[in-house]
């Protein structure tokens, strides 16, 4: 299945127009992104709730880890560095946190609000190895920036 990112962005923009509540926006994006492609086994947000700390936010899929420090895992690396983490093989990622033993690859994108304030990260997991592409990362970053960039 190939994602029509233009259609996804238009749908998300329509659903979220005028909304400024971060959790409501995260819930809507998690649902829409998760159902856009069968590669996405777990799709969700981890929110910055304290210095150097992420806590689970809205998601689709099985249970996720509840708390992730910036110092651990793929989500922590994205939050700590402010950079996209595109991981084709989670077993090769030092310090990977196995919230689900079936996860083989992961894409984590930092989520920024106004003035580059880190709100959290978008975490996409797949049971398939090397499931995510640079295009996925780029197009989803555009959607996140469009949704959260002014908040």
Q: Write out the chain's pLDDT in tens, 151 residues.
A: 589 999 999 999 999 999 999 999 999 999 999 999 999 999 999 999 999 999 999 999 999 999 999 999 999 999 999 999 999 999 999 888 888 788 999 999 999 999 999 999 999 999 999 999 999 999 999 999 999 999 9
pLDDT at site 98: 80
Is this model's pTM higher than 0.95 or not?
A: yes
The tokens for 134 are 């640079």
Give the count of alpha carbons within 13 A of 51, CB side only: 0
Q: Give the CATH number for residue 91.
A: 3.30.450.40
For residues 137 and 84, the answer to whether their CB atoms sit within 8 Å is yes
* Residue of 55, 94, 57, 87 lying closest to 73 (CA atoms): 94
Q: How many domains does the chain have?
A: 1
* Residue of 58, 59, 57 lying closest to 67 (CA atoms): 57
Domain that holds residue 62: 5-148
């Amino acid at each position: 299945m190939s994602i029509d990112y233009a259609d996804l962005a238009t749908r998300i923009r329509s659903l979220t127009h005028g909304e400024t509540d971060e959790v409501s926006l995260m819930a809507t994006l998690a649902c829409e992104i998760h159902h856009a492609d069968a590669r996405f086994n777990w799709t969700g947000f981890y929110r910055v709730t304290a210095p150097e700390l992420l806590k689970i936010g809205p998601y689709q899929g099985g249970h996720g880890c509840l708390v992730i420090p910036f110092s651990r895992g793929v989500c922590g690396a994205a939050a700590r560095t402010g950079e996209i983490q595109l991981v084709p093989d989670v077993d090769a990622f030092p310090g990977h946190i196995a919230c689900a033993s079936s996860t083989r690859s992961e894409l984590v994108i930092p989520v920024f609000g106004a003035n580059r304030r880190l709100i959290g990260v978008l975490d996409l997991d797949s049971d398939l190895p090397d499931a995510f592409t640079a295009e996925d990362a780029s197009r989803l970053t555009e959607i996140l920036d469009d949704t959260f960039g002014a908040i």
